[in-house]
Amino acid sequence: MGSKTFFCVDAHTCGNPVRLVAGGGPLLNGANMSEKRQHFLKEYDWIRTGLMFEPRGHDMMSGSILYPPHDPENDVAVLFIETSGCLPMCGHGTIGTITIAIEEGLIQPKVPGIVRMEAPAGLVLIEYKQVEGKVHSVKLRNVPAYLASENLEIECPDLGVLTFDVAYGGNFYAIVDPQENFPGLEHYTAAQLITWSQVIRKRINEKYTFVHPQDATINGCSHVLWSGKPIDPSSSGRNAVFYGEKAIDRSPCGTGTSARMAQLHAKGKLKAGEDFIHESFIGSKFTGRVEAQAKV
């Protein structure tokens, strides 16, 4: 294979990397980003592995590729790539991508301060605040999230049997709350959580099936969310999200936060309109809200 050049801009969201591919991405076939995601996975996954893994990337690398929107009413289409695969949706990636794209002039929104973004998982509506050329904040209304399954069980090395829920927030998350065999993430190291996550994610996907009802190409549990006591007492909760093969998200994880809120709302533990302040393993924060109900 001959050499291939990509134009990339690197940034981070709350400490988790975002590598935006602003030039060199392949032309993809498909009527929407879900279909284009399948084309990418079939023929161009070497681009993802080449840009995300060493020597150009690392275990935690995450990124995105910009495309023109399919609907002229929208502003941009985005394909999300990371060490874990080509994702239907990525929250921290959206925040980083929009920040880079606006500051670097890579997209020109039809309405200043608002971006309508097409993702493989669906349409995401974004608001951003820009002051003197710098983006100071990004807020996104994610695709509909929901609690897919609850009170499932899996055997975990060292810990024993764990009870967990699975929720969707753009990706499927196994959510492990504090319980008898797991008192909370604050009692463990990132290395321990990574080791256990590698095993239980494999076992979960062997034992259970998770498929999005509107898009069968979105399937399988790709992330494990371990929860625990927040560092800041004013926060609502804390998580350690495992993805790829060796990574714990340094951000609170956007789609993971959506999945977590969907789980808590379904269980009557989070009210619509109530702020949910979510901490990452390192203490960085996202603020989320359940703003409306939707049927999936």
* From 14, 86, 90, 221, the catalytic residue: 90
**Boundary residue ending a domain (141, 159, 184):** 141
Q: What is the pLDDT of residue 1?
A: 55
Domain count of the fold of the chain: 2
Is residue 104 located within the same domain as residue 150? no
Domain that holds residue 152: 146-288
| Cross-strand pairs, 64 | 20, 80
Q: Is the peptide bond before 252 cis (omega within 30 degrees of 0)?
A: no
Work out whether strand 247-248 and strand 237-243 pair parallel, antiparallel, or are unpaired.
antiparallel
Residue 90 appears among annotated catalytic residues: yes
Q: What is the pLDDT of residue 295?
A: 87
Number of Cβ within a 10 Å radius of residue 283: 15
Is residue 124 located within the same domain as residue 150? no
∠ at Cα 25 (126, 72), nearest 5°? 45
| Cross-strand pairs, 80 | 64, 87
Is residue 129 located within the same domain as residue 173? no
Residue 86 appears among annotated catalytic residues: no
* From 14, 86, 156, 253, the catalytic residue: 253
| pLDDT tens, residue order, the chain (296 aa) | 578 999 999 999 999 999 999 999 999 999 999 999 999 999 999 999 999 999 999 999 999 999 999 999 999 999 999 999 999 999 999 999 999 999 999 999 999 999 999 999 999 999 999 999 999 999 999 999 999 999 999 999 999 999 999 999 999 999 999 999 999 999 999 999 999 999 999 999 999 999 999 999 999 999 999 999 999 999 999 999 999 999 999 999 999 999 999 999 999 999 999 999 999 999 999 999 999 999 88
